[in-house]
Amino acid sequence: REWLGFRQVLSKAVTGDTPASTAREFFCKLDHPLWNFHYTLTAAASPNPMALIGESRIAEILANVLFPFWLSEDIRHGESVTWRIDVWAEYAKLPAQLSNRRLETAATRLFGSDSHRKKFLRTVAHQQGLLQIYDDFCMQDNSDCAQCPFPEQMRKWK
């Protein structure tokens, strides 16, 4: 039952609905008589129902599974560039739900106390960009930024 609904969400989003809101609506409607009220098999029942998939997990599924799928479908079927731009615009607006130490470290190393720092933690796209920089540069640099090649590469791109 859920698989059919999920496949319908994928095709509905591709045919013109807003992809993120269509998928979010699907995930928010999922329910199960046990898991709506239990954290684990042995836990006591919660007095209030819980979401099976929370907002932060929905954002991760959208960013790491569904948006790449929609873009690959666009390319595979030779759809118009307009659709691809719409998907990218939707992806760029996807709000970040959580932060972590790697993100905070990358933002601090790149921006310090600059007021622009928080701007780059607001969307999933910005967070994923920061994580890519962190993995490509911060994890490879043991000099605590003193010999990091990232600033030089940025100068070359200008």
- Percent of the chain as helix, strand, coil, to the nearest 5: 65, 0, 35
CA 73 to chain centre: 18
Its pTM stands at 0.73
* CB neighbour class for 53 (10 Å; exposed up to 12, middle 13-18, buried from 19): middle
Interval 83-97: pLDDT, tens? 555 778 888 888 998
**Residue 56 Ramachandran class (φ > 0 left, ψ -120 to 50 alpha, else beta):** alpha
**Under 8 Å between Cβ of 22 and 9:** yes
List, for residues 24-80, the tens digit of each pLDDT value. 888 888 889 999 999 899 999 999 999 999 888 998 898 998 888 877 766 555 555
Closest residue by Cα to residue 96 from 58, 67, 150, 49: 58
Q: What's at 40, amino acid-wise?
A: T
